[in-house]
Homo-oligomer: A and B are copies of this chain.
C-alpha cells in the first residue's frame, strides 16, 4: 500500500525508527540470569527447606505452588509473565535470546529454537515461583532479589529503547506491559512476605501446618480457575493490542497519504459517489469523502474491538459465576444439574490431562474468541455504517433503503400473515376452559394452514436466516467460555473446550470437597496431641454443614468420641449425599484410609 504514496511520506513512516540496542541486551540478561536460576534449583531441597518435624509429606516443598492455599496472586503473576513471554516469543525474530540470530539460520533450525524457548522460559522463571512456596526467610530474600533484578532489567530495557520497528513503533513496549506489571507485583509481594516473616508473626511449625490447611469462610474459587481467568484477561490484552496496532496505524497512513489520483480511480470504480465528472484537478470534495470513509472505517474497527474486549471480559466473569454454581451443585451431589448425563466424579487419565491443560485452553480460547468476534463485529459495524448511517447522513448510496422500499408489500404480507395466524390461533382455534385449553374449529385450522403454506415458507426463510445469525453470534460470543458447549446437548462433549471443562471439574470436585478437607483437618488435629485447643473448624463451603465440637477430640473418652463420630457421620452424609457413593468403596478397600489421607496431603 505504501507504494501509492509520496516517497517523503513513505520514508517518514518506515525509516524514522532507528535500530536501538539497550544497555543490557536480552542476550546478556539471559546469560547472566539463567545460571542464577539453575543454581537456585539446587538449593531449596537441601538448604532452604524448613527444618522438618512432621512427616516428610507435610513439609513445604517448592513444587507446591498449585495448592489451593498458596500465594495466589504471586502464582498468577508468574504464569502471567510466562504467557506474555510466549506472546512476545511467537512474533519475535529471536525466539531464544541465548542463541544469536543470524539471517543464515535455516528455517527449520529457527523453529527448533522456538520450540526450545517454549521449555526454556518456564524453567527460567521457575525460581520466582519456588521461592514463595518454600516458605522460609532465606527463600523470600532470594525471591526479593530475583524479582527486583528481573523487574529492573525489563524496565531499563524499555526505557532505553521505547520504540522498535516491529509492527508498530510502540508495540514492543506495550506488549511488555503485562510482564513489567507482574514483575512489579512480585517485587512488592516478596518484600511483604519477608517482612511478615520477621515482624510479629513468628510462625511456629504447627501454625505453618495449620496455614496449609487454612480454613476460610465463604466460597473459594480454585487457584487453577483464577490462573486461567488471569491468563485469559492478559490474552485479551495481547490480542487486542496486536489487532489494534496491526490495522489502525495502517489506516491512518493510508488516510494521510490519500491523493487526488487515487480518488479519481475510486470514483471511476463507483466506490465513491461524485457529481462532477472525474477530473483529477477538481476532486477536493471527493477527497474529503474518501478521507471520511477511511475515518469511519477506523472508528468501526476501534468500536468493534472495544465491544469484543468488553464482551469477552464479561463472559470470563460469567464463567466464574457459573463455575461457582457448578461446584456448589456437584458438592451437593446434584450431578445432573451440571452435566446432561450422569458422571462419576473421580480422577482418571483424561481428567488429569484436562486438568493440566485447562488454564492453557482457557487462554487460547480467549485469544481465538476475541479474533472471531472482531471479524464478525467489524463486518457488521462496517455494514451498518456504510448501508445505514452514511446514507442517512449524506443522502447518497441509499441502496438498502431502496430495496426495503420496493419490498414493503413483501414485509407487510409476512407481518400480517404472522399476526393473522396468532390472532386466529387465540380466538378461533383455541377453546378456553376453566382449567385447560382445547383445540377447536379444526376444519378452519386445516384450511388456513393450507392457504398460508406458501406465505409460511417465506416466513420460514426469515426464521432460518435468524437461526443462522443467532447460532453464529451465540457461538462467537460464547467461544471463550469453556463451561458451555457449542454443540447440541446430545453431542456436547465432542466440543473440545467443554470436554476439557467437564474433566477439569471432576478433578476439582474429587480433590477439594470441603467435607473431605474438614475431615483431613480433624485427622491432623488428632495426630498432634499438643495441637491448639478451642479450634473451631468453620464451614468451608456455603451450603455445607459439618459441625465440629468446640473442644478438641483428644480430651474425650474413646467411647463417647466414637458415638459422637457416628452421629457426625450420619449428619454429614445427610447433608452431603454425594459422599455416600464414595463411602462403601472406601470402606471395602483396606488401603482406603491411607488414600483418603494422601489425597489431602499438601
Interface residues of A (CB under 8 A from B): 61, 63-67, 79, 82-83, 85-86, 89, 107-108, 111-112, 114-115, 118-119, 121-123, 126, 129, 340, 346-350, 352-353, 355-357, 359-365, 367-369, 372, 406-410, 413, 418, 421-422, 425-426, 429-431, 433-440, 442-461, 463-468, 470-472, 474-475, 478-479, 484-492, 494-497, 500, 507, 510-511, 582, 585, 588-589, 591-592, 595, 598-599, 601
Contact = CB atoms under 8 A, between A and B. Distances in A.
13 contacts: A66-B449, A79-B450, A107-B406, A115-B413, A350-B425, A352-B430, A359-B456, A361-B463, A368-B461, A368-B468, A463-B496, A471-B486, A472-B475
Contact of A456 (B361, B410, B425): B361
Contacts of A598: 438, 440
B111 A409 contact: yes
Contacts of A356: 421, 425, 445, 448-449, 452, 456
Contacts of A349: 422, 425-426, 430
Contacts of A421: 353, 356-357
A332 B450 CA distance: 31
A547 to B, nearest CB: 28
A491 B488 CA distance: 11
Nearest to A491: B474
A595 B434 CA distance: 12
Given A364-B460, A487-B474, A121 B436 contact: no
Contact of A460 (B82, B357, B486, B490): B357
A374 to B, nearest CB: 14
A122 B453 contact: yes
Contacts of A369: 464
A440 B596 CA distance: 11
Given A64-B446, A349-B422, A364-B460, 14 more contacts: A111-B407, A126-B451, A340-B489, A346-B437, A347-B437, A347-B439, A352-B439, A357-B421, A361-B463, A364-B457, A364-B458, A435-B585, A468-B479, A485-B488
B434 A589 contact: yes
A459 B365 CA distance: 11
Nearest to A361: B460
Contacts of A500: 463
A420 to B, nearest CB: 10
A497 B460 CA distance: 9
Contacts of A434: 589
A310 to B, nearest CB: 20
Given A349-B425, A352-B425, A595-B433, A443 B63 contact: yes
Contacts of A453: 79, 82-83, 122, 359-360
A364 B406 contact: no
Contact of A495 (B355, B372, B430, B470): B470
Contact of A595 (B65, B431, B455, B589): B431
Nearest to A347: B439
A227 to B, nearest CB: 9
Contact of A486 (B79, B454, B488): B488
Given A437-B347, A489-B492, A363 B467 contact: no
A56 to B, nearest CB: 12
A410 B485 CA distance: 28
A449 B361 CA distance: 12
A357 B450 contact: no
Contacts of A438: 347, 595, 598-599
Specify which of A61, A349, A406, A592 lies most central, judged by the most chain B CB atoms within 10 Å of its CB: A349
Contacts of A118: 413, 454-455, 458
Contacts of A461: 364, 367-368
Contacts of A436: 346, 582, 585, 589
A365 B464 contact: yes
B360 A129 contact: no
Contacts of A497: 463-464, 467
Contact of A435 (B408, B455, B490, B589): B589
Given A108-B406, A347-B439, A360 B456 contact: yes
A460 B363 contact: yes
Contacts of A425: 349-350, 352-353, 356
A360 B459 contact: yes
A430 B454 CA distance: 62
Specify which of A422, A425, A451, A484 lies most central, judged by the most chain B CB atoms within 10 Å of its CB: A425
A422 B409 CA distance: 62
A460 B360 contact: yes
Contacts of A489: 340, 485, 488-489, 492
A374 B51 CA distance: 70
A197 B235 CA distance: 77
Specify which of A433, A435, A456 lies most central, judged by the most chain B CB atoms within 10 Å of its CB: A456
A450 B486 contact: no
A119 B452 CA distance: 7
A232 to B, nearest CB: 11
A363 to B, nearest CB: 5
A443 B57 CA distance: 11
A405 to B, nearest CB: 8
Contacts of A108: 406, 408-409
A32 to B, nearest CB: 22
Contacts of A458: 118, 364
Contacts of A459: 357, 360-361, 364
A440 B67 CA distance: 14
